[in-house]
Structure 1
């Protein structure tokens, strides 16, 4: 993506919003001096394995949530209770454990266990704070905002995003600042606060323009043009700006390999936007793609996105194309309108 192209075709009429999002693949920090404890490195390696499985197959894969929880209980908690570590080693381990709790939280949400998801994210937030890691703390607050928006808890979504923005600013990571700002924008859109929404979108755009590809911690590598485009698409859709929402939804599909669940989400998002525009044939085509993806991704959230598409297609349910999509949804266990 080139700078200054992101909003060129978006006719939102807001001059404060400018240019483009840059793609990113942040690299892990390198150096000859090993600063991580062995235990922290082991936890991070395990976390990366769980994260890759979660992103590709969803939280319901092979009892993934149970496996992560078991590992936390049997292996990580005893490490955290070990008081013989140096302060530096302790902080490194706490940060590693926070990352694992975050993955456990996403996985729990993905199988429909909101209570466990909230508990894991709260634990992750506390561990990040205990480790003195502002970046991780901002990331956990952002995750809380994300889930609040998914559940239409508008005020909580905005509050968590604002807290994330403050902490992200302390961290100095502009990618996190962009993420927190777009999450605030989505929350404001859900509340119907158009002015505040556009202001936050502008902040997200300006922050991401300062991002240097290849910088940032490994756990932030998911954050790129496609990820932020999806958030913009959600925001514009919930504002009722469907043309702009469609543009960003299409850009969100230019994502990296290994994010099969995210591709399912974004394909369903595009279908929902097309349905809202009354473009039934295109909406059904994208919905069919998303249903096929769901056969390999075990995700309650994925099912919720598909069910939302079904509701948006309800005004056209007598159309044979919609009937065919409904039949496909029912075959994979997604409820459809009566």
Structure 2
């Protein structure tokens, strides 16, 4: 019996393959694709001729198509995990399992979305794909409008919070966005604007308390940033994903995204500022993991990178200034229990006039108040909390609201010993009640 021919080199990196490796990918490339993939990969046309996939498509059952897709030999010896594909779709692993094993989905909007996510060729589908926002030509003036729009939205976001602006960003994405597949090349400016708008929408969703929607936008932004081949933008989005993971208590993912971002800009001469941001985010993950020595080492490297950094070399990168750097550093130190060092960093920040930086100044004040409570300096903490309540009136930020709730919990145990606390607790209770609108669900895409 003649053995089937096997490839002898990795199709991805050209490395020699073991005699029993018929996947066409070496083990490191298989692991890299599985571990780092954030969107469905580009696959060759022959991928869709695989017999199980053809049968699933002929059965008109997209759940079975997804299962056949996950088990395709192209992905290596092990199938793609359900959690990975569910992440592309923006659903849970349990939901994907029900889709794969349950009755056929008939809703056209879901079928179209999932087909685009997997990049299934239209001619193989049993339904017609409706036009997507990116199928229409991008207005000519969008190329010029993009940078000015991004600056205006960033400025407004710092003053009024993500909850108040998320719908506006979604509306602009309709103009700039494209389908998940690979249409003809977009103008670079439009691709960059779409990437940044998705990342901005992710931050606004996070600021509104919706981590699931936030992550979906960040993953869309990362896929677009990779398409743009702009290493600095890829690194920036990894930083956003690192922050989100740390906020959600996933220290391992926070460290991993920061490390991936640092890898993206390792050879970039103009990358000092983004390296400083990624290093301090990496330090946050290390602090959350309890790795004190590693956290301090990362903070020292971040400080060195920040000291040598020039202003952002491209208008598409988010501002990252001294106040932002200090807030992230203080978060690390507070997590490690070094209240004195956190106080030393934050004291200089709260003297700054807020101007157009309402949210960052509010966060600095609340972190400082938290540190003061840790040193039993309750009256000073109360004064700062009163300032924060006044400063953030009308700010649509669930992150700020959560911090106010946290301060209320910290101060409650001091209500008997400090006469300033009961009045402040009453004010916090009223402020939190008045801002319940921040927790209302976000509009959907």
Change (3 A) 1:158 1:82: closer
Partner of 2:378: 280
Query: How much has 1:157 moved relative to structure 2?
Result: 1.4
Partner of 2:281: 183
Partner of 1:49: 152
Counterpart Cα distance in 2 of 1:180 and 1:334: 36
On the 8 A contact 1:80/1:94 being kept in 2, the answer is: no
Query: Is residue 2:97 matched to residue 1:97?
Result: no
Partner of 1:326: 425
Query: Is residue 2:205 matched to residue 1:108?
Result: yes
Change (3 A) 1:105 1:221: closer
Query: Is residue 2:177 matched to residue 1:77?
Result: yes
Aligned-partner SS, 1:218: coil
Cα-to-partner distance string for 1:244-276 (whole Å, 9 max, x where unaligned): 101111233347732111111111111111111
Partner of 1:316: 414
Query: How much has 1:80 moved relative to structure 2?
Result: 9.3
Out of 230, 238, 242, the position equivalent to 2:327 is 230
| Root-mean-square deviation (Å) | 2.3
Alignment TM-score, normalising by the size of structure 1: 0.80
Query: How much has 1:334 moved relative to structure 2?
Result: 6.0
**Unmatched tracts of structure 1, length 5 or more:** 1-36
Out of 40, 48, 62, the position equivalent to 2:143 is 40
Partner of 1:28: none
Query: How much has 1:332 moved relative to structure 2?
Result: 1.1
Query: How much has 1:169 moved relative to structure 2?
Result: 2.1
Query: Is residue 2:171 matched to residue 1:65?
Result: no
Change (3 A) 1:48 1:81: farther
**Higher RCO, Cα 8 Å, sep 6+:** 1
Query: Is residue 2:228 matched to residue 1:127?
Result: no
Cα-to-partner distance string for 1:158-212 (whole Å, 9 max, x where unaligned): 1111112212323331011111111111111111101110110111012122213
Cα-to-partner distance string for 1:91-115 (whole Å, 9 max, x where unaligned): 3321121111111111111112211
Q: Per residue, is there more helix in 1 or in 2?
A: 1
Counterpart Cα distance in 1 of 2:318 and 2:192: 17
Counterpart Cα distance in 1 of 2:334 and 2:314: 31
Out of 236, 252, 255, the position equivalent to 1:155 is 252
Change (3 A) 1:226 1:128: same
Query: Is residue 2:372 matched to residue 1:271?
Result: no
Change (3 A) 1:145 1:307: same
Greater gyration radius:
2
On the 8 A contact 2:246/2:284 being kept in 1, the answer is: yes
Partner of 1:17: none
Query: How much has 1:82 moved relative to structure 2?
Result: 9.9
On the 8 A contact 2:283/2:296 being kept in 1, the answer is: yes
Query: How much has 1:221 moved relative to structure 2?
Result: 5.8
